[in-house]
Structure 1
Amino acid sequence: MILSVLQNIFISQPVKVVFLTLLSSLMLNRMPWLHKEKEQQTKRILALWAKCSSSLPGSRDKNNPIYVAPAMNSPVKRLERPLKDKQLFKLTGDIVVQILFLILLVTVAYSAQNSSRFYLHQAIQKSFSHGFSEIKLLEHFYPWANRTLLPNLYGDYSGFITDGNSFLLGNVLLRQIRIPGAILFPPGVSPQEQVRPSHQDQEDKENYGVNWGPPETNITKSDSMWHYQNQETLGGYPIQGEFATYSGGGYVVRLGRNSSTANRVLQHLEQSRWLDRCTRSLFVEFVVFNANVNLFCVVTLILESNNMGAFFTSVRLDTLRSLQTSKKDFAWSVVSQVIYYLLVCYYAFMQGRRLKQHRWRFFTRKRNILDMSIILISFVVLGLDMKLIALHKKNMAQYRYDRDSLTCCSDGASLTTELFSAQQ
């Protein structure tokens, strides 16, 4: 929390101030750049007009020593004043539009954020990370799972985890990624000496029988924990660990929907040595939903090997906001986004006209490049938002179809995390 506050004070806010200062400076200097040719033409006209003999009332004729007073019905008109008034009016309009654009930009950026995200992450991490960092060998995983994982996954209230506020969606999944068994070392070699070359760190995708023996013909891929399941079958996605990037496939076991079933599954895994020296990494994945803060949270507990016999732990929490919000918040969010993207379309149209008029000279001005960057980023964010909504609906349809399977909100939650980081 302290790191987040310091980052906001010393990094995020100064960057925003510098960006807004640059934007304001470019906006104020915009008129002389755009009307430089018109100003030069006006100066030439005024110079030619000064050289010509003036016949306006009230002007002094050098050849006539008698002064002629101007007529009352023909006042002298100044040509410079209307031009300056027009420029000032246009500049004021641009400033108002820019301020409105910035207000809508801030509203759209922060409307998707939830202040309860940090507290939800803190509560979940406090529940499941106790003793998790102390796991250094695979043998330490089962005692930790019995002491910490299962009691916190299956709380006193049916369907809720131990905090009583977050509902467990789907199933809890144990997924391991293995290395080929051909590179196993003799029993006499210590774990510290088992340093494997990088070309041997390939993922094992073979099918096996019980206790990692020869495959059996009467066991199908869908109901066996000894058969490899690819990323498409599981609906997973690649995940970044401390030492490598791992695929969304692997050898999968589901713990079940209650504590007794999960205890039996863990005992069976320990007795059959499902985790052995070929295990490269282990993932504990599940999804919870907190209706109080209207947030989904994809929890991934990662246990990965450093290729030297020791294992390191990490926790990844990805949050996804539910689409079911209050009518007031939903209406304000939709209205602000519609107005914002209408302004973006207007700026895109104006930039297209300037590009057609100036052609390659268009890219020589910093103001044009800045405007085009904002327009492109805005449309990219709009596309990602549309993809996020589609993924959310797909995940909810999948959960309604099969409530016993793992609800895979990870892709949408990961996308939300990236958007949140980009907006910061």
Structure 2
Amino acid sequence: MSEATWWYRGGTSKHDLHYRREAEVNTTLEELLLYFIFLINLCILTFGMVNPHMYYLNKVMSSLFVDTSLPDDERSSFRSIRSITEFWKFMEGPLIDGLYWDSWYGNKQLYSVKNSSRIYYENVLLGIPRVRQLRVRNNTCKVYPAFQSLVSDCYSKYTVENEDFSDFGLKRNPEWTHTPSSRTAPWHWGFVGVYRDGGYIVTLSKSKSETKAKFVDLRLNNWISRGTRAVFIDFSLYNANVNLFCIIRSNFRIRTSNFHVKTKR
């Protein structure tokens, strides 16, 4: 047998080449087997942490805050908000009624929890809810030269470059002054854009009447205006019966055209 049949170019024999191919196949199969074992263990751990109570707690909170009808309009809810007027109806209606419960089953007086309140009977409100908005500066969009004399105000879409950091409205109150964003705070992203922490923050009261009065004051003084691009409502709760925490963030995003409000929970 000729030498060419035993050796390939570069000095590698057919036997060595065949052995290398078998080793590569065996290594690939071993790695694939280990990957499947890892994937099975991951699925077991992940699905083992899920229980039906998570679904029911989320469904109850959605029904309470998202699906409850707005005052004087049974066909509208959180999901169908399309104007600033409807936004304030939600804030002064379903949101306040959901955050501050004062009755127990059978319309009995709800017993109090130290430094906290209850939501839907069994859920303890942790801390104090807050409302936060992000704004953009005036004259941040490009106007065609022929129309510049007709357009005095122009608010572009939200970007970090367009964000407004100046105080406005009733500057003596903290909700009208800008709170800087923390470098370590997470950003929020959605279908319309990406939003960072900070902005104009309203810290709600533990009293239902005080919170409602604050919302009325903000509405009458136009806290939500043409420069507003996003409003966030944040609060968290704990249910001891199922040992679950629930963190809720309601988002209202205002487009640049016609004050159309996009909502997402």
Query: Would the aligned equivalents of 1:172 and 1:284 in 2 still touch at CA under 8 Å?
Result: yes
Q: Hey, what's the Cα distance between the residues in 2 that align with 1:201 and 1:35?
A: 53
2:86 maps to 1:140: yes
Query: Would the aligned equivalents of 1:231 and 1:237 in 2 still touch at CA under 8 Å?
Result: no
Query: Would the aligned equivalents of 2:136 and 2:155 in 1 still touch at CA under 8 Å?
Result: no
Please state whether the residue corresponding to 1:119 is helix, strand or coil. Answer: helix
Give how far 1:147 is off: 1.9
Query: Would the aligned equivalents of 2:135 and 2:230 in 1 still touch at CA under 8 Å?
Result: yes
2:153 maps to 1:204: no
Query: Would the aligned equivalents of 1:136 and 1:312 in 2 still touch at CA under 8 Å?
Result: yes
Q: Hey, what's the Cα distance between the residues in 2 that align with 1:110 and 1:204?
A: 44
Give how far 1:237 is off: 2.2
Give how far 1:112 is off: 2.8
Q: Hey, what's the Cα distance between the residues in 2 that align with 1:297 and 1:36?
A: 48
- The answer for unaligned runs of 5 or more in structure 2 is 1-20, 69-76, 103-109, 144-149
Which of 220, 227, 240 aligns to 1:278? It is 227
Give how far 1:145 is off: 1.7
Which of 90, 100, 108 aligns to 1:154? It is 100
2:125 maps to 1:168: yes
**Bigger helix fraction:** 1
Query: Would the aligned equivalents of 1:241 and 1:302 in 2 still touch at CA under 8 Å?
Result: no
Q: Hey, what's the Cα distance between the residues in 1 that align with 2:87 and 2:225?
A: 12
* Correspondence list, 1:25-424, <5 A: 33-34=22-23, 104-129=41-66, 130=68, 131-156=77-102, 157=110, 158=112, 159-161=117-119, 163-183=120-140, 196=156, 202-208=162-168, 210=170, 224-232=174-182, 236-308=185-257, 309-315=259-265
- 1:259 partner amino acid: K
Q: Hey, what's the Cα distance between the residues in 2 that align with 1:144 and 1:226?
A: 21
Distance 1:203 1:114, change over 3 A: farther
Query: Would the aligned equivalents of 1:135 and 1:312 in 2 still touch at CA under 8 Å?
Result: yes
Distance 1:269 1:197, change over 3 A: closer
Give how far 1:36 is off: 9.4
Residue deviations 1:312-361, cap 9 Å, x none?
Answer: 1111xxxxxxxxxxxxxxxxxxxxxxxxxxxxxxxxxxxxxxxxxxxxxx
Aligned residues: 210
TM-score by length of 1: 0.44
Query: Would the aligned equivalents of 1:153 and 1:160 in 2 still touch at CA under 8 Å?
Result: yes
TM-score by length of 2: 0.67
Give how far 1:254 is off: 1.1
Q: Looking at CA atoms only, which structure, 1 or 2, has the larger radius of gyration?
A: 1
Give how far 1:109 is off: 2.7
- 1:113 partner amino acid: V
Give how far 1:103 is off: 6.0
Q: Hey, what's the Cα distance between the residues in 1 that align with 2:158 and 2:218?
A: 29
**Bigger strand fraction:** 2
Distance 1:174 1:35, change over 3 A: closer
- 1:173 partner amino acid: R
- 2:165 partner amino acid: K
Please state whether the residue corresponding to 2:264 is helix, strand or coil. Answer: strand
Please state whether the residue corresponding to 1:116 is helix, strand or coil. Answer: helix
- 2:118 partner amino acid: F
Query: Would the aligned equivalents of 1:176 and 1:250 in 2 still touch at CA under 8 Å?
Result: yes
Query: Would the aligned equivalents of 1:289 and 1:296 in 2 still touch at CA under 8 Å?
Result: yes
Give how far 1:110 is off: 2.6
Query: Would the aligned equivalents of 2:157 and 2:255 in 1 still touch at CA under 8 Å?
Result: no
Q: Hey, what's the Cα distance between the residues in 2 that align with 1:305 and 1:174?
A: 15
Please state whether the residue corresponding to 1:160 is helix, strand or coil. Answer: strand
Q: Hey, what's the Cα distance between the residues in 2 that align with 1:113 and 1:228?
A: 40
Aligned CA RMSD, in angstroms, stands at: 3.6
Please state whether the residue corresponding to 1:181 is helix, strand or coil. Answer: coil
Residue deviations 1:133-157, cap 9 Å, x none?
Answer: 2321212222222221101111124
Q: Hey, what's the Cα distance between the residues in 2 that align with 1:299 and 1:146?
A: 18
Distance 1:293 1:231, change over 3 A: farther
Q: Hey, what's the Cα distance between the residues in 1 that align with 2:249 and 2:216?
A: 22
1:401 corresponding residue in structure 2: none
Identity %: 24
